[in-house]
Amino acid sequence: MSQDNWELYVPQPLRKKEKKMSWQDWKAQVDGPLEKLRGGDRNTAMQRYLRYARQWCAFGATFYKAKQITKPYNVILAVHWTGFFVFVPGERIPTYSYKFPDILSWSPSKQAITFRIGNMTNSFEMKFFTPQVRLWYGCACMIIQKRMWLHLL
C-alpha cells in the first residue's frame, strides 16, 4: 500500500465517516494491531484470528441483500446457527436479531419472505424482498433440521 492509493484499501463507509484522516493516521491504525501479530507462526496466527472473529455475533453466518417494507429499507439478512440478524449496510452491530425459537413461522414466496415473530399472544410480521429467497429458505431449513437432530430447539 502506497501513499498514493491508500484510500482504495479503506472500506467505503469508513471513508465517508473519516474524511479528515490522513495517510499517517490510517497507517498507525493498521500497524498497531499488526505489530501484536508479528513473530508467530501460521497456526498461531490462525488461532488468534478465530478467537477474535468468534466474538462477532454473526460469525459463520450467511449473508443476503434484501429490501424491507419499513425503514431501514436496504438491509442485509444473515442466517446464523442461532437464528437470523438484520443489518443495515455498513454497520457492524445488527439492527434486529431473532433466535429460531422466537420465529413462529415464515412463508417464502417467489421474491419475498415473511416472518411471524413473537409468541402465540403477541406477535408481529416482518417482510423482506430478495431474489435469494430460495437460498435463504434452504439454508435456514438445513440449520433447523440440524438443530432438531441435535435437540437444540
Average pLDDT, stretch 123-140? 82
What is the four-CA torsion angle of 75, 89, 85, 127, rounded to 10 degrees?
0
Report the pLDDT value the prediction gives residue 116, as an integer from 0 to 100. Answer: 85
Q: What is the pLDDT of residues 25-79, one digit of tens each?
A: 777 777 777 777 677 788 887 888 888 888 888 888 888 888 987 777 899 988 8
pLDDT at 11: 66
Which of 79, 131, 132, 138 has the alpha carbon at shortest distance from 103? Answer: 79
pLDDT band (50, 70, 90) for residue 81: confident
Smallest CA-to-CA distance from 103 within 59, 58, 147 is with 147
Q: What pLDDT, on a 0 to 100 scale, did the predictor assign at position 110? A: 80
- Mean of pLDDT over the chain: 79
Q: What is the mean pLDDT of residues 97-109?
A: 84
CB 39 within 8 A of CB 99: no
In angstroms, how far is CA 32 from the centroid of its own chain? 26
Distance CA 133, CA 153 (A): 23
* SS3 (DSSP) at 116: strand
